[in-house]
Structure 1
Amino acid sequence: MNRKIVLAITFVSLIVIVLFAAFAGKKRALAENEETTSAIIEVPSNLTEEAATTEISEEGNPIRDGHYNPLTGLFSEEDLTNKRPIVVMFDNFYAARPQAGLAKADIVYEILAEGLITRYMGVFYGTQPDYIGPVRSSRPYFVIKALEFDPYYVHVGGSMKALSDIKKYEMADIDGLSSGAYWREKHKKAPHNVYTSSEILLKDAKRMGYRETSTFSFMDFHASLMVPVGEDATEITFVYKEPTQTDKIGYNTSYKYNDEEKLYYRYTNGKPHLDEDTKEHLTCTNILVQYAKTVVIDNEGRLDIDLITTGKGKYYTAGKVLEVTWKKTTANDPTFFYDESGQEIKLNPGVTWIQVVKTGNVESIK
């Protein structure tokens, strides 16, 4: 299947349901008018156009009814055709925790910032939350990841290189240092208390004249849960920073697999990672790991993380782990993941967390 997803202006709606058994396995293409700027979304080949609702079957597989979300492989009642992703930089300093809004993200990245402290970058498309934060500053390697989604880019300041790249790539920038779309909460201390909401962000984006549609590519999804052939992986731990006598707060991320729900539950320093707003324990279906060359480039401890290259990685899903490789050719290109035979991998339908890890820092697996 062509991985390309082009979302543009005049498409009225895209709605899909499962083919009946008589048509199982037959491929259908979505009709498109090549003379207009219609949205073209490649969906699983056994789907047709018809509206319904999003549900999960008793077997844990998504019911393929409604509007297709190309970032999760799931379906919803809401028409996503004329939406543009919102990508948010989240603070992960211990004083900023817990974060609000991550439970509604389709994709979340965890990547190092200075001092071996990580930050999150959430990608919101299927659902855009009412309460988001704490929002923090950008770094150039986060910009490189954000560009893959042609989004509204939400952050509060950034390194000089990050701000330069945001301007260079003409991103739809909603910076808290110049936008009025943010406020400070009193229950956390500055600078770890900047919050916003999707409604306010979208109003500010409209005020600034940003286009409301976008063009982006992501990965393909299986139509239902597929258990890969691989080693068992029901508990995974990533150590970004060990606690020390002078800094007792570590930055360890772990996941525990729930076989009944077919989900990985997320933990931070051994404690459940909860959403500040919804109080939900964060879960995901897919965990992608990118091992990336990481070097300190200045006295402030800023990093250069090379993401426009090739590298090794892992893919965790359904309690299994696969060795993969990844490749990104230019700043605007998507990141491709390949199995050991060189074929692009497909994800299981659901939320994906992407852990970018320094080359040589291997996670523990049980």
Structure 2
Amino acid sequence: MATVGTRRRARTRRAALTATLLAGALTAALTAGCSGHGGGGTDRAPRHAPTPAPSRSAPAGSPLAVKIDNVRAARPQTGLGAADVVYVEQVEGGLSRLLAVYATRLPKTVGPVRSVRESDLELLRQFTMPALAYSGAQRALLPLVDRAPLRARSPEEAPDAYFRGTDRAAPHNLYLRPAALLSAAPGESALTTGFRRGPAPSGGTPVSARTVRYPAARLTFTWSAERGGWLVAMDGTPVQTTDSGRPAPPTVVVQHVKVRTSRYHDVLGSPTPYTETTGSGRAEVLRDGRSFDGFWSRPTATDGTAFTAADGGGLDFAAGQVWVVFVPAP
């Protein structure tokens, strides 16, 4: 018969083993999964890990869309310079977040990656089965993500495509290896946005800078003739990237849209805005150091967005990257 001391020692060993296993499982979950709010960090670039082979093949003409963090602790971002289109939207608490679309170039790394919103699903329907890289979503939203006509790839669905940087605190340190989701850039034909490139229309108003304000964020675009584009600043600070310097998109669109409250909210209880990108409304197109007033129209979610000048003529964009900033219509 075992003594009392022997039984106590056995219980102690079992408890220690259980604690070790639980700690290991928790560490693995935090490393692979997404985190909540909070955490600051430094502005050094992440360390790169080896790139694995793509987890699944993408349909021909399928671009890559990545949700990118845009609070101060997430800057400077990585991979923004290679995006063909950068959408800026208002999120909870009056902050902003980015959705970058890649078709002509795939950078080595993109991030920090954050969670998807309901209105992103409508915005992305203009593309053919895009791959969507995101770090998570509200539990109630996940069924909508699963049913959307896209290839959703979170860290849970494609763990080899993501890694955590070591110089920032979570959740601002999750990065994507695009080559793990797309074997090659699909090309310009995948940009079914409705945007047209061409010479600027006549007229327009000379503009040196344009500022867009959200309740808790602001973006300023300052014309640089030397760069041939609009230098981007966030919250009064020039935007830099870790891999391609300061963005200077040749075309910036300020698109006035309806922004309503959705049925979702964040972990702090703040309501999630829903940005309606179908319909029509007013738009400002910034290019060549001038501002052109016009209108946008996207009749259905599967359509691209057409832009026309105030006189009804075409409103073409300059060649190169486009930033589209969604602002609430008055």
Which string of whole-angstrom CA distances, capped at 9 and with x for unpartnered residues, describes residues 107-126 of structure 1?
10110111111110111111
Show the counterpart of 1:20.
none
Preserved contact between residue 139 and residue 161 of structure 1 (Cα < 8 Å): no
Q: What's the TM-score once normalised by structure 1's chain length?
A: 0.66
Q: What's the TM-score once normalised by structure 2's chain length?
A: 0.73
Percent of matched pairs sharing the same residue: 24
Distance 1:103 1:356 in 2: 20
Distance 1:289 1:275 in 2: 22
Distance 1:268 1:221 in 2: 27
Distance 2:139 2:280 in 1: 26
Relative to structure 1, the CA distance from residue 197 to residue 302 in structure 2 (aligned partners, 3 Å threshold; closer, same or farther) is same
Match of 2:177 among 197, 205, 215: 197
Q: CA deviation at 1:346?
A: 1.3
Show the counterpart of 2:144.
165
Preserved contact between residue 140 and residue 159 of structure 1 (Cα < 8 Å): no
Aligned structure 1 segments of 4 or more residues deviating by more than 6 angstroms: none
Q: Which has the higher contact order (CA 8 A, sep 6+)?
A: 2
Relative to structure 1, the CA distance from residue 165 to residue 255 in structure 2 (aligned partners, 3 Å threshold; closer, same or farther) is same
> Does the alignment pair 1:85 with 2:55?
no
Distance 1:297 1:215 in 2: 28
Which string of whole-angstrom CA distances, capped at 9 and with x for unpartnered residues, describes residues 172-205 of structure 1?
12122322121111211111111011112226x9
Q: Structure 1 regions of 5+ residues with no counterpart?
A: 1-80, 206-212, 243-250, 361-366
Distance 1:96 1:232 in 2: 33
Show the counterpart of 1:232.
206
Q: Structure 2 regions of 5+ residues with no counterpart?
A: 1-58, 264-268
Between Structure 1 and Structure 2, the one with more helix by share is 2
> Does the alignment pair 1:310 with 2:280?
yes
Relative to structure 1, the CA distance from residue 159 to residue 325 in structure 2 (aligned partners, 3 Å threshold; closer, same or farther) is farther
Aligned residue type for 1:149: F
Number of aligned residue pairs: 261
| Bigger Rg over Cα | 2
Aligned residue type for 1:351: Q
Preserved contact between residue 228 and residue 320 of structure 1 (Cα < 8 Å): no
Distance 2:70 2:102 in 1: 18
Q: CA deviation at 1:308?
A: 1.8
Q: CA deviation at 1:217?
A: 4.6
CA RMSD, Structure 1 to Structure 2 (Å): 2.3
Aligned pairs (5 A) from 1:180-329:
180=159, 181-202=161-182, 216-222=192-198, 225-226=199-200, 228-242=202-216, 251-278=217-244, 280-297=245-262, 299-329=269-299
SS of 1:145's equivalent? helix
Relative to structure 1, the CA distance from residue 321 to residue 122 in structure 2 (aligned partners, 3 Å threshold; closer, same or farther) is same
Which string of whole-angstrom CA distances, capped at 9 and with x for unpartnered residues, describes residues 84-123 of structure 1?
3111100112211111000111110110111111110111
Q: CA deviation at 1:232?
A: 1.1
> Does the alignment pair 1:337 with 2:301?
no
Q: CA deviation at 1:296?
A: 2.6
Q: CA deviation at 1:269?
A: 1.8
SS of 1:283's equivalent? coil
Relative to structure 1, the CA distance from residue 118 to residue 161 in structure 2 (aligned partners, 3 Å threshold; closer, same or farther) is farther
